[in-house]
Structure 1
Amino acid sequence: MSKAGIKYGKRLTSPDYAAIAENAEKSVLKALGLERPEDLVAKVRPEDLLVRAADVVRQADAEMAVHLDDRDRSMAHLWFYEPRLGLARAAGLTIVGFRHALARLVYGNKTHPLPDVDSNEELARVGEELGVEPVEDAEEKFLKAAPLGYAARIRRDKAVYYMQEAVLALSQPPYEWGPEKIAEHAGVERKVIYKQRTTAQKRHGLHVPRSAKSKA
């Protein structure tokens, strides 16, 4: 994502995101009381799985709020004031994901085009005009926050998957819990349970659209 006219510092070294993802997934299984994904049915009751998974999601959300904000602020500094190659990969993002993250921070709109300039001086000037805050020790902070935020996102995604499975199990015999009871047990809003149940139903080929129900 380099641009002619911009002088870049040394290319950033990317963390081992494959290993980070693997470790994050293992930590979720441990938190849920599982050794392997296939242990899901045999080892954990769905009402217990629901609570444990919801706790992991809440913790991951809290960590993401901190680390991804730190990542994006230091990433913006390294784009506007100390241009470095390899920012997207070092952040654990695709080029599109990187552009979206930077535009969301700077403009409040992930699809807003990024500035198109031809010199470091002009790029820094645009950053100042947009209110991009300089970050001291930006590289160090970026390389610390990016993998922590990435791991938290992986943990959240995996925990949401298991939470969806628990919601589906509790919605069916022999439990037949309603969304209200499931939401109360998990400590989340009811709309979250509706969404998770629908996602799990679709994954298992059990979802029946409302239009089909009305025709029956």
Structure 2
Amino acid sequence: MRKALGLPRDEKLPTREELPAAGRAAGVPLIEDAQTRLPSIARAYEQYRARKDTATPIRNAAILAVAEEPYNWTHEKISQAIGRDPSLVSMVINGRR
């Protein structure tokens, strides 16, 4: 929510009553039939999470494999190959992810 509203981390979130006005001010579009669309959106999100939860360990294993012998790829080369930020590659290699 903070990101959608463009709020910095240290700024207080709007109250429930202030939220519609804050959303409009941030340019967040109002979805008129949100209550009917929410179940399908939730299903799509659950499917996304399942795919991500399956793919992440495979991606991490691949990162570790190419970072070691015989490949010795650099963090930058790995990040370019997978289209992700070098900091993610560093976190995987250093065991923080």
Cα distance in structure 2, aligned partners of 1:181 and 1:138? 43
> Is 1:170–2:71 an aligned residue pair?
no
Q: Secondary structure at the match of 1:142?
A: helix
* AA partner of residue 46 (structure 2): Y
Cα distance in structure 1, aligned partners of 2:79 and 2:4? 32
Cα distance in structure 2, aligned partners of 1:105 and 1:185? 29
Could you give the per-residue CA deviations for residues 22-77 of structure 1, whole angstroms, max 9, x where no partner exists? xxxxxxxxxxxxxxxxxxxxxxxxxxxxxxxxxxxxxxxxxxxxxxxxxxxxxxxx
Larger Rg: 1
User: Map of 1:19-98 to 2, 5 A cutoff?
Assistant: none
User: Map of 1:148-187 to 2, 5 A cutoff?
Assistant: 148-187=44-83
Moved more, 152-161 or 138-147: 152-161
Cα distance in structure 1, aligned partners of 2:33 and 2:83? 39
In structure 2, relative to structure 1, the CA distance for the partners of 1:152 and 1:178 (3 Å cut) is: same
Cα distance in structure 2, aligned partners of 1:104 and 1:170? 34
Give 1:194 deviation, angstroms: 0.5
* AA partner of residue 68 (structure 2): Q
With a CA cutoff of 8 Å and minimum separation of 6, indicate the structure with the bigger relative contact order.
1
Cα distance in structure 2, aligned partners of 1:138 and 1:188? 32
Give 1:151 deviation, angstroms: 1.2
**Aligned to 1:188, which of 65, 75, 84?**
84
Match of residue 18 from structure 2: 130
Give 1:105 deviation, angstroms: 7.4
Cα distance in structure 2, aligned partners of 1:197 and 1:185? 15
Runs (4 or more) in structure 1 with deviation over 6 Å come to 103-106
* AA partner of residue 53 (structure 2): D
In structure 2, relative to structure 1, the CA distance for the partners of 1:173 and 1:145 (3 Å cut) is: same
Match of residue 26 from structure 1: none
Q: Secondary structure at the match of 2:58?
A: helix
Could you give the per-residue CA deviations for residues 65-110 of structure 1, whole angstroms, max 9, x where no partner exists? xxxxxxxxxxxxxxxxxxxxxxxxxxxxxxxxxxxx7x9879x67x
User: Map of 1:201-216 to 2, 5 A cutoff?
Assistant: none
* AA partner of residue 175 (structure 1): Y
Gaps of 5+ in 2: 24-29
Cα distance in structure 2, aligned partners of 1:178 and 1:151? 33
Give 1:135 deviation, angstroms: 4.4
The structure that is helix-richer by fraction is 1
Gaps of 5+ in 1: 1-100, 113-125, 204-216
Cα distance in structure 2, aligned partners of 1:163 and 1:175? 16
Match of residue 198 from structure 1: 94
Match of residue 35 from structure 2: 139
